[in-house]
Amino acid sequence: MTDIDSILDQGVTEGAVPFVLAMHGDAEGIRYVGKAGDVSEDTVFRIFSMTKAIGSLAAMILVDRGKLSLDTPVAEVLPAWNDVKVLDGYEGDKPILRAPKTVATVRHLATHTSGMEYEFWNSDVPDFMEKTGHPSILSGLTSSLNYPLTTDPGTRWGYGPNTDWLGQVVEAVDGRRIDAFCTEEIFEPLGMTSTAFEPDGLEDRLASVAIRGEDGAFGPMEIAPPPQPEVYGMGHALYSTAGDYMRFLRMILNKGTLDGARLLSEDAVATMLADQMQGLAFEKMNSVSPLTADVELEGDPTHSVMAVLHRADVPGKRSAGTNSWAGVLNTHYWVDPKKNVAAVIMTQTLPFVEPPFLALYDAFERAVYAA
């Protein structure tokens, strides 16, 4: 038994997770697969916000082909963006909305600096939704895209439905619906045979979801991306396996290619992984929802086109230049080009980034680098 096996087993026996699957590898292949609890390599996960890196890749494919620029104004491609306004307070219960003072670009969407934020980390947003009846992005409705902006584009980092809009940009520029684009341009070339927008045919492999109760024990919960939505949200829509996601990460380590299939040029990969925040920085995400803890990250975080970018080495762990992110049901990844390491650690639990899970993640990552 390896040290990592012991760490995963301990995570289950001590109640950090009901089950866990972890993998790490490099540009050449998978170096470790481990699991504890009721899970297998074939298990399918609702990866929620791990979908975002795939949406960013879709946009970068178009940038690489000269069909799109990071500086393209969103409204130039999607006139519906002109309907998005900044929330500037209330008159009684009626929101005061104004036009943005700055122009939102594709780069702002990719880096979560457009001003559009989720209801889980900014109290102004659930307040707006309650007062206006605005649907959550998880409804899958086209109308749900029109969250208010909490700040003007390009002025602050704030995590929100930006990649859902980015997916719509890809649709408008390319002409294919985003699920068809991703299947034909990403999943099929990379051999991601168990990654899909609908769980059709994958149901018997789909993991169950658990939420920690007030007594500290896990109980069942039903949560999933909306089936057959009006809009496939590239912030949350995908189902996948650990092995499939590692193929995507290994393509990144191989600078745009895997097993003979080239998705991006080397220059495009470098652009995708580089700091694109134009002087802004990641800000601690203070939870306003019982479904998530606060999100605070190590390594001087900023944001690339793909994900959070760690600008400083974390001793014993990831290097400067690492990109990482996660899905709300505690599916997590990082890709470290400097040390040629990619890894995933996946379960299906809430709350997101609760301390017991973070301790397991930390121990796993340290063991990966120690090995």
In a domain, 57, yes or no: no
> Catalytic residue among 49, 194, 304, 324, which?
49
CA 312 to chain centre: 21
H helical segments located in the chain: 3-13, 51-64, 74-77, 106-111, 124-132, 162-174, 178-182, 188-190, 242-253, 266-273, 355-370
CB of 170 closer than 8 Å to CB of 162: no
Backbone φ and ψ for 324, nearest 5 degrees, come out as -155, 155
pLDDT at 57: 99
In a domain, 292, yes or no: yes
Active site residue 159: yes
Radius of gyration of the chain (CA): 20
Q: What is the pLDDT of residues 333-367, one digit of tens each?
A: 999 999 999 999 999 999 999 999 999 999 999 99
Domain extent for 254: 3-50+192-370
Q: What is the pLDDT of residues 279-312, one digit of tens each?
A: 999 999 999 999 999 999 999 999 999 999 999 9
In a domain, 273, yes or no: yes
**What is the pLDDT averaged over residues 143-165?**
98
CB of 315 closer than 8 Å to CB of 340: no
Q: Which of 216, 160, 197 is nearest to 349 (CA)?
A: 216
Active site residue 52: yes
pLDDT at 160: 98
CA distances in angstroms from 73 to 105, 242, 369, listed in the order given:
4, 35, 41
Residue 95 has pLDDT above 80, yes or no: yes
> Catalytic residue among 118, 147, 159, 245, which?
159
In a domain, 166, yes or no: no
In a domain, 250, yes or no: yes
In a domain, 280, yes or no: yes
pLDDT at 2: 80
In a domain, 163, yes or no: no
User: Rounded to 5 degrees, what angle do the CA atoms 251, 324, 65 make?
Assistant: 45
Residue 1 has pLDDT above 90, yes or no: no
In a domain, 244, yes or no: yes
Residue 112 has pLDDT above 90, yes or no: yes
Q: What is the pLDDT of residues 117-146, one digit of tens each?
A: 999 999 999 999 999 999 999 999 999 999
pTM of the model: 0.98
**What is the pLDDT averaged over residues 204-226?**
97
Q: Find the CATH number of the domain harbouring 37.
A: 3.40.710.10
H helical segments located in 196-289: 242-253, 266-273
> Catalytic residue among 35, 52, 232, 324, which?
52
In total, how many domains does the chain have? Answer: 1
Averaged pLDDT of the chain:
97
